[in-house]
Structure 1
Amino acid sequence: MTGQLIVGAVLLVVVAWLAACAEAGLARTTRFRAEEALRSGRRGAAKLMAVAEDPTRYLNVALLVRVASEVAAGAVVTYACVRAFDTTWEALVIAIGVMVLVSYVAVGVSPRTIGAQHPLSTATVAAHVLLPLARVMGPVPQLLILLGNALTPGKGFRKGPFASEAELRALVDLAEKESLIEDEERRMVHSVFELGDTLVREVMVPRTDLVTIERFKTIRQALTLALRSGYSRIPVTGESEDDIVGIVYLKDLARKTHISRDAEAELVSTAMRPAAFVPDTKNAGDLLREMQRERNHVAVVVDEYGGTAGIVTIEDILEEIVGEITDEYDQELPPVEELGEGRYRVTARLDIGDLGELYGLQLDDEDVETVGGLLAKRLGRVPIAGATARMPLPEEGPRPDLAGLRLTAESAAGRRNKIVTVLVEPVAAEEEAVQAEQPAE
């Protein structure tokens, strides 16, 4: 009887081993690989393609088979040990030791190594078994997932947590380390994931940076502004700069003046197009899909009070994935210019977190997000060229040699004389101590 139990336990472990192989192979087999195998005429590629169409479902089936086999093997081994030994505690200790060793080596390490080394072959073989098995099990795996979500605090995963974004990110990092993809490609894939968590207000052009034209201006004035600024789409304002009533396109202006020179004297409102409005809390990824579907390249962003917060274009969203896109009209300043001795010239729109990275610090502020905003907060007013403020740092921080950072507003530009660049200088702890010891005049 004991021999039969051992044989049964071994068979169950073999089934768990095969299910673990299937899990590892399917996790590393993409739909693209399945399509390549189908085009090359690989045997079993049709079934592999069917599994690749819904990988989560078949991963759940393989997981259920593995867990059930492991649990059953553990129960059989425990029963065999209880029959073979006189004392119960001795039987339990031996059963636990045997199953931990078997589960770790035979089900944990070995099959996953094989599945990772030969994912396509493993997934193809697994597809022959998982397809009919999934039909037999029906909705059982999904029902168990729903039960697990019901017992889990918070919101669960509808299809199960077995193929998460974190795992996909880890696979991308692993592919880059093994030189299967370039570092820029890895960054781009991570940016695609991050786009799903990005709000429109994080990528928009703020209202203070907009080039606008009043609706009572003429088409000739609008055409001149477009040619001088280099922008092909310009917001049209009504009663105030906060009231955007439409968008005028350079090609529409050129078309009207090309058809009739007299059109130059017409109002710009006759050539503008309706503006699309989106809330600043909208997801950037969702907005990109909407703009593609509606063939709209620019939208006006409104804040929670209904005021104009800025505008966002398809280019702004795409730059979150591929990086900065510049053309012959863009005059982009470098975000960071190193000046030596720990001094940097940065743009006023540089993120505070990026500034902290320059000095090995973690900077954060609940009220502002940019260096220009931080300078204005420390000053308590709108900064002008030459204005200086100091940002203190905690003494027990990662840089005890630094007492703070000195921020100096430099160049100003635009109709509002807005600060463009800020000079950042470290304030050494020794310098701070010397200044504190000097008597006040």
Structure 2
Amino acid sequence: MDETMIITLSVVMAVAAVLLAAVSMLMAGLEGAIVRVTRANVNNAMIDLQTDGELSHFSRMKLVGRMHRVQRLLANRHAASAACSFMRITCNVLIGALVACITGLFSFPWWCSLIAGLVAALLMAAVSMVVRPRDAHSMEPLEFLLKHVSLAMTAFYMVPVARGERNQNKRAELSDDEALEKLQQDQGKAALERMIETNRFDPEVSEMLRSIMLLSDTLTREIMVPRTDMICIEQTETLGDFLRLCSRSGFSRVPVIGSDVDDLVGIAYLKDAVRATSYNPKALDRCVQSIVRTAMLVPESKPVDDLFHEMQVTRHHVAMVVDEYGGIAGMVTIEDAIEQIVGELEDEHDRKQHEEPEQLEDGSWSMPARTPIADLEEIFALNIEEDDVDTVYGLLTKILGRVPIVGSSAVTHGLKLTAVDSAGRRKKVSTIVVERVPVESNEETGKQQKQPAGDGTEQKDEEDE
């Protein structure tokens, strides 16, 4: 082999060794980032990404794709970290082999080549341990992981050991911070249980203390109002429509939407509408979008204790819950979080939910919303074949296709169901009046009728009759 060929091969192998060293350092950084990134960090970053108006659609979708790859890595955290560690060690070994080959090309004794390769591999391993590139990215592990997620995914699918580590238990999937926090919470719960068992506290206080400790284990999705139960108003409606909706539904904060629920514009507040229209009746014709406030967005996987603290700091009483894909999953209020501590908050009207059906003077029946359909069938001697609903409230909701509010009415199976009262903190319909309708009205059975209130629910208002 001539001298030119030897020099060319040496340069190529040296460049390969340098590239392998760079890959080894990146793998060390990814190995540390994977065990540090928490799922809460990813969820919060996803919400910030979805609400960032400065990004173009192409850039946003590109970053969302990276976020989803990061979520897949975190779902197999232990296996992904092991794959990066395996690739880092492999790169160090290959660097030693290349250095040994380079020394062999220049006619050094075999034992010199062996020692040179061993020293190079140990030196690279020492750099990974002493310089510790993993610590260099400990302050921004999510940004580093997003930047090099393609390299991490390649290592995850290429390394055979990763496929054998995917079935690890859930404890192995926690990050270092999450594991430490969980250990501290378990110790605190154990200490609290020992104090409660000594009977030094009142039973109600003991139950409240237990509820406080469980806040960190309760997720926002468990206490939120699902999107199917949300009362919304379209951005094209007027302030007059909004005031009527608030009067009938009992809510003072209503989400404002565009084409659908996922097209969230913001939150409209009753006090803002009253302030705008009380001394200016002409403002009733203004668009409700003129008083919209920016909505607070939280991920559905956010623990309730963190949610409660964030709502206190930001002074928000209502927040919109976002799922992992950026869609609206529901809404949550600060009262929902408080109920997890002090228990269900009921008012003087909630007793109506537990009353029995009562016949009125005009022959119609006043029924609690929770009345089973079987009781309705027995009273009116009908066979209502609705297998997917169990209560009178569920039947009215199914006919309307949206959440009923006071004044909502619909006709089905020769019966007219009208929501006449609401109760509870969430202002859900509590009483429904059921009456027979003339035979000629049966043709309208199951048909949805128009509602003038502007809440997006198709219904007939009693004032139009």
TM-score by shorter chain over 0.5: no
Higher relative contact order (CA 8 A, sep 6+): 2
